[in-house]
Amino acid sequence: TQLLEQSPQFLSIQEGENLTVYCNSSSVFSSLQWYRQEPGEGPVLLVTVVTGGEVKKLKRLTFQFGDARKDSSLHITAAQPGDTGLYLCAGGPYYVPGNQFYFGTGTSLTVIP
Amino acid sequence: EAGVAQSPRYKIIEKRQSVAFWCNPISGHATLYWYQQILGQGPKLLIQFQNNGVVDDSQLPKDRFSAERLKGVDSTLKIQPAKLEDSAVYLCASSSFQTSGPSYEQYFGPGTRLTVT
């Protein structure tokens, strides 16, 4: 059973288009993180959201944490080829030794020049 | 600041053979993780260390997988014997120690791509 479901699983768009990736769960998380992973590399953290309803912006990327802390979204404006990669959400509890950090199923984004 | 180092980057073995992966975390990071990532999926936690103690190994297939972090710094993950379904990327990550608060940032190494034939 996958704790965090991402949609869509695959996304191929033209340069300049906008897109939204969703991360949903039936569980409540204290925080949600978004990572981007390029081929042959490990995931790199983009942002952490910790407050229900929180919105964070990172240049052309906008991240939102749902009010109930069960879901999150990543919106990219005017996508560029450099945005290509695997986008992963990860839900975490408040840090308690032994608590696991859960990754989503992943969204593979391809931006075509 | 040096990142998380992993070796080898690639490994091809036949089923039933043994293989070992090495990880050196960021200096000073007390927490070390090993993840398994099947192509196109999110990473799955195999084992989490706090210094040289195991915090969580509930998803580690202990009949064939083992991991150690003897001196609380670098770590090795071993598979013996390997199966075809073990083909994946094995990621090591580290983070600094926290006793409470929102989830912490994990820093990942480049991973080891294992192919079992």
Span B5-28, mean pLDDT? 97
Which one of A9, A30, A98 has the shortest CB-CB distance to B103?
A30
B97 — pLDDT class (breaks 50, 70, 90): low
Q: Which of A6, A9, A11 has the alpha carbon at shortest distance from A24?
A: A6
pLDDT at A19 over 60: yes
Q: Taking residues B46-65, what's their average pLDDT?
A: 92
At B48 the three-state DSSP class reads strand
Q: Phi first, then psi: give them for residue A13, nearest 5 degrees.
A: -135, 165
Confidence of residue B115 (pLDDT cuts 50, 70, 90): very high
Q: What are the pLDDT digits (tens) for A66-113? A: 999 999 999 999 999 999 999 999 988 655 555 667 899 999 999 999
Mean pLDDT, all residues of chain B = 92
Statement: residue B89 has pLDDT above 70: yes
Q: If you count residue pairs, one on A and one on B, with CB atoms under 8 Å apart, how many are there? A: 79
Instruction: Please give, rounded to a whole number of angstroms, the shortest distance from the CA of A29 to a CA of chain B.
Output: 10
**What pLDDT was estimated at residue A15?**
98
Residue B91 CB partners (closer than 8 Å, separation 6+) = A42, A43, B6, B34, B35, B36, B37, B43, B108, B109, B111
Residues of chain B contacting A, Cβ within 8 Å:
4, 33, 35, 40-45, 48, 50, 55-56, 58, 91, 93, 98-111, 113
Smallest CA–CA distance, residue A79 to chain B, in Å, is 21
pLDDT level of residue A27 (50, 70, 90 thresholds): confident
* pLDDT over 80 (residue A28): yes
Q: In the numeric block, which tokens belong to residue B41?
A: 């999926």
> How many angstroms separate the CA of residue A44 from the nearest CA in chain B?
7
Q: Do residue B42 and residue A106 have CB atoms under 8 angstroms apart?
A: yes
